[in-house]
Chains A and B, each alone.
Chain A
Amino acid sequence: MALREHIQDIRTEFPILDIMVHGRPLVYLDSAATSQKPKAVLDALDKYYTQYNSNVHRGVHELSQQATTAYENARQTVANFINAEHDHEIIFTRGTTESINLVASSYCRKYVKPGDAILISGMEHHSNIVPWQIACEQTGANLRVIPIDEQGELKLETLDVLLDADVKLVAITMISNTLGTINPVKEIIAKAHHLNIPVLLDAAQAIQHMPVDVQALDVDFLVFSGHKMYGPTGIGVLYGKSKWLDAIPPYQGGGDMIKSVTFARTVYNELPYKFEAGTPDIAGAIGLAAAIEFISQLGLENIAAYEQELIQYAYQELQNIPGLRFIGDSKNRAGAISFLIDDLHPYDVGELLDKMGVAVRPGHHCTQPIMDQFGIPGTVQASFAVYNTKSEIDILIKSLHQAIKMLKN
């Protein structure tokens, strides 16, 4: 199915796309930060709160059972979506950040000793840097970083030096949120597994743009957020192979994560509940399942093909703007395009585009090490989702010309 032909129908699924910003129709090109939500997701949230809101796993009454069923069905929907072997390998969290913190805390507490190392890359989001720095500080381990080149691609040849028996975990992004680079994660996983080192993949920018199969990847941990894939904010996923999730200690203590509690001793619950202390984001999980169904109905391959058309078009049109340079020039890319125009400050460009109804993102995109490497204060970033159109890209280009004229005049 070529989504291009159905784009108007798709857009009507997103009520927010009809609003006006500063008197102009909204052109939303900030989906890498958060995507808009289709009616199916809004309706699922509304239905939950108006028809069967209740706490899960505890009650015997009808509503509680309905809520529990919907919550556990959502887990199954996620498991099927990423082809996990078991439902209990899906842990609901608050988002990518919490998922990474969970692994950094629980895994490192058990397996990481002074002198060990954690390997990340130079294009990680702060959420895939700082939790490891904290873990290294607590365990006496070192953080190693795979460098990136001028194109914004990983210098993979360094892996042979960086990856040795001291490395206890590799944590790497599938797609860079700033540069748009798609990383060759299969190759990295194979190399790490050769030395029996587990790998965590940050799929926050991948899960909405390409099919992800955790068994085919043979990945040990995979993390993503609901809100970047058309789902609600506040819900995220940690996938972990059973053997790892069983082996590592709980992250937080509280209700639902225990089998029995006495003052002398507590027996932890089994997977997945061991990692879901307290009342979970029930509505969020149900909303996330609705988002996955929305994606599945369109077909992730179809979405990927359509978004590639948009990105290629945007790339080609942006190239014609005098003085524009891309930050991250990988040919293998998805999601976002970062650029700068001569010495114009990204904030100035972003502010004027906003006045024209075009929502882009100026800034460092929570990747300050990338900004330092390129010696820039930030970038202007346009990122795309299934509801964007070529005519919106035309508006972006026209608005950019206008902004440049004002700033350079």
Chain B
Amino acid sequence: MTIEDKQQEIIQHFSFFTEWMDKYEEIIRMGRELPPLDTSHHTDEKLIKGCQSKVWLNAEMKDGKLIFEADSDAIITKGLVAMMVSVLSDHTPEDIIKSELYFIEEIGLTHHLSPTRSNGLLAMVKQMKNYAIAFQTLSKIGKI
């Protein structure tokens, strides 16, 4: 599935929830189901600098594709992190760099992307793209 397909799938999935509570329960469930990030990655280096809730992000290259793993200490953020990982993981750096993420707005959680909220999500998108750029550069110069 392309990044675009994955976003559409999430948007469609959330369109079934008309009540805010059902929507949030689903996000919380996704947060719980996010595969745990090995505690060795819970380092300051992997921490995305957000003000209130913490987000850790790890990226590795496998067969030309980037694999993301992440975690957060707040469960709603973790649910959003889980969606972000599922959308961008397992794609080439090129696809990740040119992707435009709009599903968060579409499912009505725009406020999570507000820079003033400082909860790391906006910074997470940026960091995921930075990883993609870094890996793309490394592969161009033949380091990986």
B75 interface hit (Cβ, 8 Å): yes
Mark interface residues in A113-154 (1 if CB within 8 Å of B CB, else 0): 000000000000000000000000000000000000000000
Interface segment, one of B9-17, B18-26, B58-66, B92-100: B18-26
B28 contact set on A, CB distance < 8 A: 406-407, 409
Task: Name the residue of chain A whose CB is nearest to the CB of B77.
Answer: A347
Q: Which of B21, B24, B51, B73 contacts A345 (CB 8 A)?
A: B73
- Output the least CB separation between A142 and chain B (Å): 28
Q: Considering the chains assembled together, what is the distance between the CA atoms of A375 and B51 in angstroms?
A: 16
Q: Considering the chains assembled together, what is the distance between the CA atoms of A71 and B72 in angstroms?
A: 51
Interface residues on B, range: 10 to 19
B119 interface hit (Cβ, 8 Å): yes
B77 contact set on A, CB distance < 8 A: 345, 347-348
B129 interface hit (Cβ, 8 Å): no
B76 interface hit (Cβ, 8 Å): yes
B52 interface hit (Cβ, 8 Å): yes
* Contact A364–B52 (Cβ < 8 Å): yes
Task: Name the residue of chain B whose CB is nearest to the CB of A355.
Answer: B20
Q: Considering the chains assembled together, what is the distance between the CA atoms of A98 and B73 in angstroms?
A: 35
B54 interface hit (Cβ, 8 Å): yes
* Contact A406–B54 (Cβ < 8 Å): no
A344 contact set on B, CB distance < 8 A: 75
- Output the least CB separation between B118 and chain A (Å): 10
- Output the least CB separation between A345 and chain B (Å): 4
Mark out the residues of chain A between 253 and 293 whose CB falls within 8 Å of any chain B CB in the assembled complex: none
- Output the least CB separation between B39 and chain A (Å): 16
A377 contact set on B, CB distance < 8 A: 52-54, 73
A364 contact set on B, CB distance < 8 A: 52
Mark interface residues in A343-368 (1 if CB within 8 Å of B CB, else 0): 01111100110010000001110000
* Contact B25–A347 (Cβ < 8 Å): no
Report the interface size for chain A: residues with CB under 8 A from the other chain: 17
B73 contact set on A, CB distance < 8 A: 345, 377
Q: Which 8 A-B pairs have the closest CB atoms?
A: A345-B74, A347-B74, A347-B53, A348-B76, A348-B74, A355-B20, A347-B52, A348-B75
- Chain B residues proximal to chain A, CB less than 8 Å: 20-21, 24-25, 28, 51-54, 73-77, 119
Q: What are 8 A-B pairs at a CB distance below 8 A?
A: A22-B20, A345-B53, A345-B74, A345-B77, A406-B24, A407-B28, A407-B75, A409-B25
Given contacts A347-B52, A377-B52, A378-B52, 16 further A-B contacts (CB under 8 A): A22-B20, A345-B53, A346-B52, A347-B76, A347-B77, A348-B75, A348-B76, A352-B76, A355-B20, A355-B21, A363-B52, A364-B52, A377-B73, A406-B24, A406-B28, A409-B25
